[in-house]
Amino acid sequence: MKKKAAPVTVDLFEQAVERLVALGKDADVSDQLMAGLSRPKAMLYASLPVRLDDGSTEYFDAFRCHYSQLLGPSKGGIRFHPDVNRSEVQALALWMTIKCALVGLPFGGGKGGVTVDPKALSRMELERLSRAYMRAMVDFVGPDKDIPAPDVQTNERIMGWMRDEYEVINGEQQPGVITGKPITLGGSLGRTEATGRGAFLCTEFLRNKEGKAAEDLTVAVQGFGNAGYHIARLLQEAGYRVVAVSDSKGGVFAEAGLDVEGVWEEKQATRLLKAVYCDGSVCETTDHDNITNAELLALPVDILVPAAMENTINADNVKAVKADWIVEVANGPISMEADLLLCEAGKVVIPDVLANSGGVIVSYFEWVQNRSGYPWSLDEVREKLEAKLSTAFEEVWQTQHQREQISLRSAAYSIALTHLDGVLRAKGTKEFFRNGT
C-alpha cells in the first residue's frame, strides 16, 4: 500500500524573504538595503511561566522581533495563537517594515506573539499571561524603542494589562509604550475599527478608479473577527451586498445579502455564525446556507476579503477563486505562487501592506496623542486616516499604471523600498564611500 506523502511545511519567513527579493527587482535600490532587509535586526525568545487557576504552572513560548529600525522605533502587534512561532513572527515583522515605509510612518517593523490557545484560558490566566509577556519583554520595548499593539486574538484589554505592567516595573506613566489600549487608559478613538475601516477605504478607492457602483458588487469575507466585521459592516452600509462571512468553524451564505450587524451580534452572544436580522434587541434567524471556508473562497462574488490567517489562498485552491478583486485584510493571506497565478488571471489584489495598514496608521495617531497629551476626536482620527490612505493608494495606483506588467503589490513594495533606501543612502552606502563624493 502506497504511503501518503507527508504534508509540506511552509517556512513563512523564508517565503516572505523570497517575495521581498522578487519584488525588490522592480525597485532601483541598493544591494545593502536588500541584504539588510533579508534578516531581522533582533529577536527575543522567552519561556513564560504562568500560574493556572488550579495551582499548576504552565510554560508558554513567547517571541518579539525588531525587524528594522531605519525609520524609527519598531511597531507591530502581539498575537496569541497556537501556531505562533519564530518564523511567523519574523515574517510579520518584515511585512510591517514594508507597511510603515509605504504609508509614511516614522516606524520600523516589529511583531510579537505567544504560542497559546487563549480560548482555553480563564480571564485571570489570560491576565497573568499578558503581564508575564510584558515582564519578559520589558527591556526590549518602550515608546522610543518598540511599541506593541493588538493582533490576532489579543485586544484592548490585554494591551491595557501590558501597559500597566510596564508602568509598575518602571515606576512611571508611559502611555505611549503600547497602542490599541482602552480609551480610559490612553487609547485612541477609532482604533478598534481602524484595520477594517482602512480596508474599506482602499476598496472604495479601487471602486472609484474602476467606475463601479457599490450596489452592483457582491462581497464574501473569510474571517469574521474584529477587522472582518468592520470591513463587512462598512461595505454593507455603503451599499455593497455582503453575501457570505465565515470564521474558523465555517460560514453562512445568503444570496440576497446578510445583515452584518445581526450576524455579529449573534456571534458575540452565542459564538455561532447565523444569518440573523436584528431590530433593536429582538433578533430572528433568516434564510441562509451553511458553507465551509473552502466554499466561501470559491463563491462567484465580485470581491473576496481574506481576513483570517496566512496562506489561506494557495497553490491548492487558487484556481477555485472566482472574485475579480481581492482585498487582503489578513497578513500574507495569499501565497507567493498563488499571487502570481491570480495576477496572470487578471485579478486585482489590494495587498496587505496597503489594505490592512489602517490599524498601524491609527496606532501611530494614538502614539502621537500619548506623546503630546492631547486626544483627538473620532472625526479627526477618521479624516486623518482617510487622507493618509488616499495618498498612499494614489501613489501605488500611479506607480502601477506607469509601469507595464506589474501588480499593485509590486508597486507598493517598490515605493516602500525606495523610501527605505533613501534613508540608508543618507547614512552612506558602498557607492558613496567608494566614489568619494
pLDDT tens digit sequence for 421-430: 999 888 877 7
* Residue 285, pLDDT above cutoff 70: no
pLDDT one-digit tens code per residue, 9-35: 568 999 999 999 999 887 888 889 999
Average pLDDT over residues 342-346: 93
167 and 65 belong to one structural domain: yes
pLDDT one-digit tens code per residue, 95-115: 999 999 999 999 999 999 999
Is there a catalytic annotation at residue 119? no
Q: Which H or E run contains 398?
A: helix 378-402
* Residue 205, pLDDT above cutoff 80: yes
Residues of the domain holding 135: 39-176
User: What's residue 426's pLDDT?
Assistant: 87
Q: 300, 327, 355: which is the final residue of a domain? A: 355
| Ramachandran class of 58: left when φ > 0, alpha when ψ lies in -120 to 50, beta otherwise | beta
pLDDT confidence tier of residue 318, bands split at 50, 70 and 90: very high
55 and 168 belong to one structural domain: yes
160 and 231 belong to one structural domain: no
Q: 331, 355, 379: which is the final residue of a domain? A: 355
In a domain, residue 43? The reply is: yes
In a domain, residue 49? The reply is: yes
User: What's residue 265's pLDDT?
Assistant: 86
62 and 154 belong to one structural domain: yes
Query: CA quadruple 404, 407, 412, 417: dihedral positive or negative?
Result: negative
159 and 243 belong to one structural domain: no
Question: Which range has the worst mean pLDDT, 26-40, 73-87, 223-237?
Answer: 26-40
253 and 343 belong to one structural domain: yes
Question: Domain containing 98 — which CATH number?
Answer: 3.40.50.10860
In a domain, residue 273? The reply is: yes
User: What's residue 286's pLDDT?
Assistant: 63
111 and 152 belong to one structural domain: yes
Cell 510612518 sits on residue: 105
Q: 355, 389, 405: which is the final residue of a domain? A: 355
| CA–centroid distance for 107 within its chain | 16
Joined grid coordinates for residue 421: 533606501
210 and 286 belong to one structural domain: yes
The span from the CA of 399 to the CA of 389, in Å, is 15
In a domain, residue 96? The reply is: yes
Q: How many domains does the chain have?
A: 2
In a domain, residue 210? The reply is: yes
Please report the DSSP string for 74-114 in residue order. EEEEEEEETT--HHHHHHHHHHHHHHHHHTT-S-EEEEEEE
In a domain, residue 99? The reply is: yes
203 and 351 belong to one structural domain: yes
In a domain, residue 151? The reply is: yes
| CA–centroid distance for 18 within its chain | 20
51 and 138 belong to one structural domain: yes
Which is the catalytic residue, given 41, 75, 99, 111? Answer: 111
Pinpoint the alpha helices (H) of 138-225: 156-170, 194-210
207 and 144 belong to one structural domain: no
User: What's residue 282's pLDDT?
Assistant: 46
Question: Domain containing 310 — which CATH number?
Answer: 3.40.50.720
pLDDT confidence tier of residue 7, bands split at 50, 70 and 90: very low
In a domain, residue 392? The reply is: no
64 and 201 belong to one structural domain: no
Q: How far apart, in Å, are the Cα atoms of 10 and each of 26, 280, 430? A: 25, 46, 35
CB under 8 Å to 405, separation ≥6 — which residues?
none
User: Nearest-5° angle of CA 302, CA 305, CA 307?
Assistant: 170
